[in-house]
Amino acid sequence: PTLLLTYVPKENNFPRSFFKLAGSLVNITSLLAVQPKSKKTLTKSGVKNIVVVEGVRIPFLQSGTSYADLMPHDLARAALQGLLNRTSVPREVVDYIVYGTVIQEVKTSNVAREAALGAGFSDKTPAHTVTMACISSNQAMTTGVGMIAAGQCDVVVAGGVELMSDVPIRHSRKMRKTMLTLNRAKTLGQKLSLLSKIRPDYFAPELPAVAEFSTSETMGHSADRLAAAFAVSRLEQDEYALRSHTLAKKAQDGGLLLDVVPFKVPGKDTVTKDNGIRPSSMEQMGKLKPAFVKPYGTVTAANSSFLTDGASAVLLMSEEKALAMGYKPKAYLRDFVYVSQDPKDQLLLGPTYATPKVLEKAGLTMADIDVFEFHEAFAGQILANLKAMDSDWFAQNYMGRKSKVGAPPLEKFNTWGGSLSLGHPFAATGCRLVMTTAHSLKKEGGQYGLVAACAAGGLPKCVLGP
């Protein structure tokens, strides 16, 4: 999906957020808008303006490092507490909490509620958990937007969490069946006869796969095919990955990653910054072997996003409420769109489809956008999307458009790094994209920002905002 953000303007007649779910397979693009200088107004009459008051995230860490012994709701708790600390929002004001997660910890299936309780939110505040692969927190945010727009709530906290250091590994189906039947066995004889049926293959565990259910293809394999389809070379991918790491390092050193809040991990030191940023050299990256399509593929560990632990949270309000409480919102959430396409060959092409749609909906063009933040699942996927957006052939044959929308200029594109370098805790990435856009718009003095991400199942999205 793509989100469109606009910067907060003075006058109060800005357009309303709107959203539409196109099918079950979605990419999201959102539009964020910031501050005035406003050439256009995106306010829609009769719909409330919805603003992002603030957003934070705990540092994103490579899985297996400092967060390794925690549980997902611990990370979510840290992000929620960070948000409370930074905004000092009174707990009882929060009407609702929505959280995204992808790989579910079975003990905390409604991780939103467990985390909220542990973070000191009121036990009167309801919470639910959503899932939509890599755009789960985008889904959490747009769910919140919908609730505010519908007049259900005024203040919603949305976020996402992912802990890749620990994933549920199950017993085999046969073993589970035996164990469940065992519960019902009454006599010792029955129990023994059940146990005697257990065979060595019952002990083989079932691992969660990062593969599409419908096609059984792993994401990395799909990305490699996508890169090949658009003739993206290994060299281009490595160069792009290096750019991401270099820019991230610069942003980190320059103190631009304002959404990061420190996290004191129990039994360990306070974590203050992301630990996956590692600008390397083209030579070193060139030495790596392909990770998925062996031996001749182009996607490697170095040009893919890595397994990451992390959590993020944003505070959403209706504009009236925010102003009434004395907040100066960071951005307007202007518009968004979800799209979906073929999960096999176009799994990661969501941003290409969603971007022109959200722009048209908001009445903007590519030239109006000052900041682009796209989720970087793989360098090859980003470059394929850029090529697709720049191709008339693709626009005409697959998107039903007369001409291409055009690729975003790189000087406005992911200029503070991206998922390749900062990390990609699946469900936590969406909030990071939105906050980076908001902060970047403010720093650059821009007005409109566009956020896009793709997700398993073939989903992207966009945000417009301040």
Partner 1 sequence: LKLCQAVVGLLGRFLVDLVLFFFSRSQILKGWRAAALIGLENPFRPTVNTLSKQLSSEFTDIMNEIWANEAVKSAVLISSKPGSFIAGADLDMIEACKTSQEVAQLSQEGQKMLEKIEQSPKPVVAAISGSCLGGGLELAIACHYRIATKEKKTVLATPEVLLGLLPGAGGTQRLPKMVGLPAAFDIMLTGRNIRADRAKKMGLVDQLVDPLGPGVKSPEARTIEYLEEVAIDFARGLANRTVSAKRSKGLMQKLTDYAMAVPFVRQQVYKTVENKVRKQTKGLYPAPLKIIETVKAGLDQGHDAGYLAESQNFGQLAVTKESKALLGLYRGQVYCKKNKFGTPQQEVKTLAVLGAGLMGAGIAQVSVDKGLKTILKDTAQQGLDRGQQQVFKGLNSKVKKKSLTSFERDSILSNLTGQLDYKGFEKADMVIEAVFEDINIKHKVLKEVEAVIPAHCVFASNTSALPISQIAAVSKRPEKVIGMHYFSPVDRMQLLEIITTDKTSQDTAASAVAVGLKQGKIVIVVKDGPGFYTTRCLGPMLAEVVRVLQEGTDPKKIDAISTAFGFPVGAATLIDEVGVDVATHVAEDLGKAFGERFGGGSIELFKLMVEKGFLGRKAGKGFYIYQEGVKNRSVNSGMDEILARFKLPAKPEVCTDEDIQMRLVTRFVNEAAMCLQEGILSSPVEGDIGAVFGLGFPPCLGGPFRYVDSYGAKQLVDKLRKYEAVYGSQFTPCQLLLDYANNPSKKFHQ
**Cβ closest to partner 1, residue 86 vs residue 174:** 174
Q: How far is the CB of 390 from partner 1 (least distance, A)?
A: 9
Binding mask 243-282 for partner 1 (x = CB under 8 A): ----------------------------------------
Spell out, one character per residue from 278 to 297, where the chain touches partner 1: x when CB under 8 A holds, - when not: ---------------x--x-
What is the C-alpha separation between 131 and 145, in angstroms, rounded? 16
Question: Rounded to the nearest whole angstrom, what is the least distance from the CB of residue 212 to partner 1 in the complex?
Answer: 9
**Measured from the CB of residue 296, what is the shortest distance to partner 1 in angstroms?**
6
Give the number of residues in contact with partner 1, rule: CB under 8 A: 25
Instruction: Report the distance separating Cα 414 and Cα 243, nearest Å.
Output: 10
- Among positions 349-388, residues that touch partner 1 (CB under 8 A) are 384, 387-388
Active site residues: 134, 454
| Distance of closest approach, residue 21 Cβ to partner 1, in angstroms | 21
Side-chain half-sphere CA neighbours of 461 within 13 A: 41
The answer for residues whose C-beta is within 8 angstroms of residue 234's C-beta and 6 or more apart is 286, 298, 300, 303
Residue 80, CB-side half-sphere exposure with 13 Å CA sphere: 32
230 near partner 1 (CB under 8 A)? yes
Q: Nearest distance from residue 371's CB to partner 1, in Å?
A: 27
Nearest by Cα to 355 from 345, 366, 344, 363: 366
Specify the stretch interacting with partner 1 by CB under 8 A; choose among 75-83, 121-129, 155-163, 218-226: 218-226
The three-state (H, E, C) secondary structure of the chain, written as one string: CEEEEECCCCCCCCCCCCCCCCCCCCEECEEEECCCCCCCCCCCCCCCCEEEEEEEECCCEECCCCCCCCCHHHHHHHHHHHHHHHHCCCHHHCCEEEEECCCCCHHHCCHHHHHHHHCCCCCCCCEEEECECECHHHHHHHHHHHHHHCCCCCEEEEEEEECCCCCCCECCHHHHHHHHHHHHCCCHHHHHHHHCCCCHHHHCCECCCCECCCCCCEHHHHHHHHHHHCCCCHHHHHHHHHHHHHHHHHHHHCCCCCCECCEECCCCCEECCCCCCCCCCHHHHHCCCCCCCCCCCCCCCCCECCEEEEEEEEEEEEHHHHHHCCCCCCEEECCCCCECCCCCCCCCCHHHHHHHHHHHHHCCCHHHEEEEEECCCEHHHHHHHHHHHCCHHHHHHHCCCCCCCCCCCHHHECECECHHHHCECHHHHHHHHHHHHHHHHHHHCCCEEEEEECECCCECCCCCCC
Stretch that binds partner 1, among 86-94, 228-236, 304-312, 409-417 (CB under 8 A): 228-236
Give the shortest CB-393-to-partner 1 separation in angstroms.
5
Judged by CB under 8 A, does residue 113 bind partner 1?
A: no
315: nearest Cα among 7, 6, 53, 30: 53
Task: For partner 1, give the closer residue by CB, 124 or 294.
Answer: 294
Q: Residue 4 or residue 349: which is nearer to partner 1 going by CB?
A: 349
Stretch that binds partner 1, among 67-75, 173-181, 222-230, 251-259 (CB under 8 A): 222-230
Output 224 or 368, the one with its CB closest to partner 1. Answer: 224
- Which position among 105, 166, 239, 345 is part of the footprint of partner 1 (CB under 8 A)? 345
Using a 10 angstrom Cβ sphere, with 0-12 exposed, 13-18 middle and 19 or more buried, the burial of residue 306 is middle
Considering the complex, state which of residue 141 and residue 383 has its C-beta at the smaller distance from partner 1. 383
Q: Based on CB atoms, which residue is closest to partner 1, 18 or 292?
A: 292
Site pattern 185..214 for partner 1 (x: CB under 8 A):
----------------------------xx
Please state the closest distance from residue 407 (CB atom) to partner 1, in A.
12
386 to 405: interface string for partner 1, x by CB under 8 A: -xx--x-xx--xx-------
Q: Which of 73, 221, 432, 461 binds partner 1 (CB under 8 A)?
A: 221
The least distance separating partner 1 from the CB of residue 177, rounded to whole angstroms, comes to 19
Contact characters 25-64, partner 1, x per CB under 8 A = ----------------------------------------
Interaction between residue 342 and partner 1 (CB under 8 A): yes
Q: CB nearer to partner 1: give 308 or 346.
A: 346
- Minimum CB separation of residue 210 from partner 1 in Å reads 17
Binding site for partner 1 (CB under 8 A): 213-216, 221, 225-226, 228-231, 293, 296, 342, 344-346, 384, 387-388, 391, 393-394, 397-398
